[in-house]
Amino acid sequence: MDIVGNVLPQVLKDEATEDKGEMARLQSFVGAIAVADLVKTTLGPKGMDKILKPTGPGQEMTHITVTNDGATILKSMYVENPAAKILIEISKTQDEEVGDGTTTVAVLAGELLREGEKLIQKRIHPQQVIAGWRIARDVALKRLRDISTENDIESQEFHNDLIKIAKTTLSSKLITTDRDYFADLCVKAVLRLKGSSNLDYIQIIKIPGGTIRDSYLDDGFILKKQITIGCKRRIENAKILVANTAMDYDKIKIYGTKVKVNSMDKVAEIEAAEKEKMKHKVDKILQYQPTVFVNRQLIYNYPEQLLADAGITVIEHADFEGMERVAAATGAEILSTFDAPERRDQILGNCELIEEIMIGEEKMIKFSGCKKNEACTIVLRGSSIHILDEVDRSIHDVLCVLITTVKNRRVVWGGGNSEMQMAAACDEEAKRVQGKQALAIEAYARALRQLPTIICDNGGYDSAELVQNFKVELEKGNLSYGLNMNDGSIGDMKELGVKECMRVKEQALLAASEAAELIMRVDDIVKCAPRKRERA
C-alpha cells in the first residue's frame, strides 16, 4: 500500500532492524557502561590485572596477555555495540596522544553516561543534559589549568617533577615495587632526547632471564643482529653506510628465466655476468669509503667477501625498524642506489665505537657515541615473556607521559586531587546556573568524584568515608591533599611526592566528555541487513 492508505512504505530491507528513542538510547548506555565497568577494577595503584586469552587453535599459551593497561585490554576486545566501540576508540586515542590515562578516560565516559541515564529517566531532554555538561566541562578545564604549576625545563625542580610523575605513573603498573629504579631510568632516557619527542631514539629490548631488577639503561643503540663472519668485531670511529638494496645473485633466478643455450658453458657465462654485475655494485659502495655496511636485505657470500677483503664490517638482514633507528641515531641516510659518492659526508653516519656484546645468551651489536647522542637502549630482563611484555607496556607509558610533560611542562597533584577540585568547581557553578542544566552540571561533578571513589574501592578501603574526608580537607584549604593508597588515608601529596602530568588529565577530560556527549545524542540505531552469499 502507499502512504495514502495510512501505511508507511517499507524503507529498510527485510532483515534490517531499527531501534528508536528510548530503546536505542538504552542500548547505547548499556554497551558503554559495560565497557567502563570491565576496566574499572584496573584503575589506580591497587588496580587488578586481566588475563586476555585468545580462542584460536594453538594460541592458548603463546599469546596470553596479563595486563592492567586499559588500552591493551580494550584493543583486544571485539564488540558489536556501537557505543562500546566509541569508548574503545577514545581509549586508543588517549594512548596515542599522551600514553597514559587510558582506563581513566573510559571509566569517566562510562560514569558520565550512568549519570546521564538517571537524568533521562527524570524526563530531562538530552540536549539540556549536553548543554549542562558543556558548561561543567569548561569550568572543570579552567580549574584544572588554574591548579597546575610550571617549572623551567632546566631547573632541578622540573627534574624532580619528572621523577615524581614517573613514580606516580608506575605506581599502577606491574613494576610498582621497583618504581624508584625504573623512574630514574626512564627520566634519564627522556632527558637524553634534549626536548625531542622522537621515541625511535629510545629502543626497548626484551631478553628473557634474570629478574626485573636486572634491567638497565645502556648509553647507545643496540641492534639485535650479529656481525658477519670474517669481519672485525670492534670498530672505532666508524663511518656507517645504511642501505636497502639487493646484494644477492641466485641460480634459481637464472633457471627460472626462459633462456635457450647450447651448452653449460653459456650458463656459466650468464653466472659470470651476474657476478660481474654484483662486483660493479660493490665497487660503487666502496667509493663511499665506509668502514661499516648495514643492509636491510641478505648479502650473499661473494659480495660479503669483497666487502670484507676491503676491510668493511658487514651487518646484513637488519629489520626495517632497526635499520631506521641506526640511520636516525648515527645521522645516516638510507640508500638503495649508490650514484652520489661526492655526498658521502652527508650520507654516511658516524659512531665512535661499534662492538659485539653478549646480553644473556644472545649476541648483539652496540653502537656507542653516535652522531646524534640522544640514542639509548633500555634492556629489560624478566623471568617470562609475559612479564617482559607487561614491563614493556609500562615503560612505554612512562616514556610517553614524560615526553608529554617535557613538551607541556605543567603538572598537578595526584591522588585524585585534580578530579575532586574539578568536581568542587562544578558544584560551585551549579549554584549559579538556573534551570535543568544545573542538574546536568551536578551530575558531571558526581561523575568526576566517582574516579577517586573507584580508586578507593579497588584498594579495599571505605570509599564513602575517604571521599568525604577528602572533601573536608579541600574545604579547609588543604589544596595539595589527596588519597594516600599506601595506608588508606588522606595525605599531603606534596610530602608524598605524588604528581601527574596536566596534559594527561586534560586529554582524558575532553575525550570522555566528547564521547559521552556523542552517545547521549543517539536516538536511532539502524542495523543493516546481513549480506547474503550468492551461489555460484
Widest Cα–Cα separation across the chain:
100
Contact 271, 252 (CB under 8 A): no
Contact 375, 201 (CB under 8 A): yes
List the catalytic residue out of 102, 168, 228, 405: 102
User: Which helix H or strand E contains 315, and what residues bound it?
Assistant: strand 313-315
Assess whether 102 carries a catalytic annotation: yes
List the catalytic residue out of 41, 42, 65, 103: 103
Assess whether 397 carries a catalytic annotation: yes
The single-letter DSSP state of residue 1 is -
Contact 454, 43 (CB under 8 A): yes
Q: How many CB atoms lie within 10 A of CB 492?
A: 15
List the catalytic residue out of 397, 404, 427, 457: 397
Assess whether 103 carries a catalytic annotation: yes
User: Which helix H or strand E contains 333, and what residues bound it?
Assistant: none
Buried b (16+ CB within 10 A) or exposed e, 177-209: ebbeebbebbbebbebbeeeeebebbbbbbbee
State CA 16 to chain mean position distance.
Answer: 38
List the catalytic residue out of 65, 69, 95, 453: 69
State CA 377 to chain mean position distance.
Answer: 17
Contact 496, 416 (CB under 8 A): no
**What are the start-end ranges of the E strands in 53-182?**
65-67, 149-150
State CA 498 to chain mean position distance.
Answer: 22
> Quick one: cell of 32?
558503554
* Residue of 78, 151, 67, 140 lying closest to 103 (CA atoms): 67
Active site amino acids: 69, 102-103, 397
